[in-house]
Structure 1
Amino acid sequence: MPLTPLDIHNKEFGRRLRGYDEDEVNEFLDQVIKDYEALIRENKEMQNQALSLQEKLNHFATIEETLSKTIIVAQEAADDLKSNAKKEAQLILKEAEKNADRIINESLSKSRKVALEVEELKKQASIYRARFRTLVEAQLDLLSHDGWDSLEGGGRLSSEIARES
């Protein structure tokens, strides 16, 4: 068991002839007590400081561990986010390609439909022209026949009758 300042203070030395000077011994013991008390206080302070530093070290070690785990989690989250973004981009691209194909197919279908309508209109126009030509030729034929001459004379007669009345 270590000495305490009280043990030093209460220490009694036996007396002998030609012994030490009691006052000097007591002064020395007082000095030893003061120094010993100072060392004990300093030792306690250092222990408290060491304990405080150990607590800080443990605290920082915990923070370091937490930060390390956080960085790992953040990295995993970033990787997941990146992976999901790539998948979503691929889905968007596929959807866009499908829409583009649909639009192209619809456009081709409409184009074919319009081409068929144009062809139909050309046929109808050709038929109309042929019928119109036939009609015009028939009318020209009528005009070129002699029957008009008799109608023209009858037309004069009706205009003369109209004048006399």
Structure 2
Amino acid sequence: MPLSPIDIHNKEFGRSFRGYNEDEVDDFLERVIQDYEGLIRTNKQLEEEIQMLKDKLEHYDSLEDSLGKSILVAQEMAEEVKSNARKEAELIIRDAEKNADKIVSEALNKSRKTALDVEEMQKHAAVFRARFRSLVQAQLEMLDSGDWGAFDKDLALRAASVAQSGI
């Protein structure tokens, strides 16, 4: 069992013929008691500090575990977000490709329809030119034929009928 300051204080030494000086022994014992009490206080403070540091260490270990778990969760969430973003990007690309195909298809159809319309108009224009040329040629032939006599008679008859009617 360790000594306490009281044990040191209460210690009695036997006397002998040539023994030690009692005052010196008592002074020395008093200094030992004071040093021993100081060591006990220091030891108690150090034990309290050790306990406090153990508590802090336990707290920090707990925080470290929590942070480690949080980092894992964050990494998993980041991977999930990236995966979802990739999937969404793929869907957007597919949708855009479908829309692009639809737009290209509609443009080709409009282009074909426009080409058909142009071709149809060109045919109508050719028919119109041919008919107009025919009409002009017929008119020229009539002018060149010199058969104005019948026209003049017809014109005179009409003028006379207008005059008789009083208009």
TM-score, L = length of structure 1: 0.79
C-alpha separation in 2, matches of 1:42 and 1:151: 149
Query: 2:125: which partner in 1?
Result: 125
One-letter amino acid of the counterpart of residue 110, structure 2? K
- Give unmatched runs, 5+ long, in structure 2: 160-167
Query: 1:162: which partner in 2?
Result: none
- The Cα of 1:139 is off from its aligned counterpart by 1.1
- The Cα of 1:147 is off from its aligned counterpart by 2.1
Secondary structure at the aligned position of 1:130 is classed as: helix
RMSD of aligned alpha carbons = 2.6
- The Cα of 1:99 is off from its aligned counterpart by 1.2
Aligned length: 156
Query: 1:134: which partner in 2?
Result: 134
- The Cα of 1:60 is off from its aligned counterpart by 2.3
For 1:110-129, what per-residue CA distance to the aligned partner results, in whole angstroms no more than 9, with x for missing partners? 01110110111011112111
Query: 1:161: which partner in 2?
Result: none
C-alpha separation in 2, matches of 1:149 and 1:135: 21
Which aligned segments of 4 or more residues in structure 1 are displaced greater than 4 angstroms?
149-155
- Give unmatched runs, 5+ long, in structure 1: 159-165
- What are the residue-to-residue correspondences of 1:1-165 with 2, within 5 Å? 1-13=1-13, 15=14, 18=17, 21-149=21-149
**More displaced stretch, 61-70 vs 83-92:** 61-70
Identity %: 54
For 1:80-139, what per-residue CA distance to the aligned partner results, in whole angstroms no more than 9, with x for missing partners? 121112112111111110111011000011011101101110111121112112211221
One-letter amino acid of the counterpart of residue 5, structure 1? P
TM-score, L = length of structure 2: 0.78
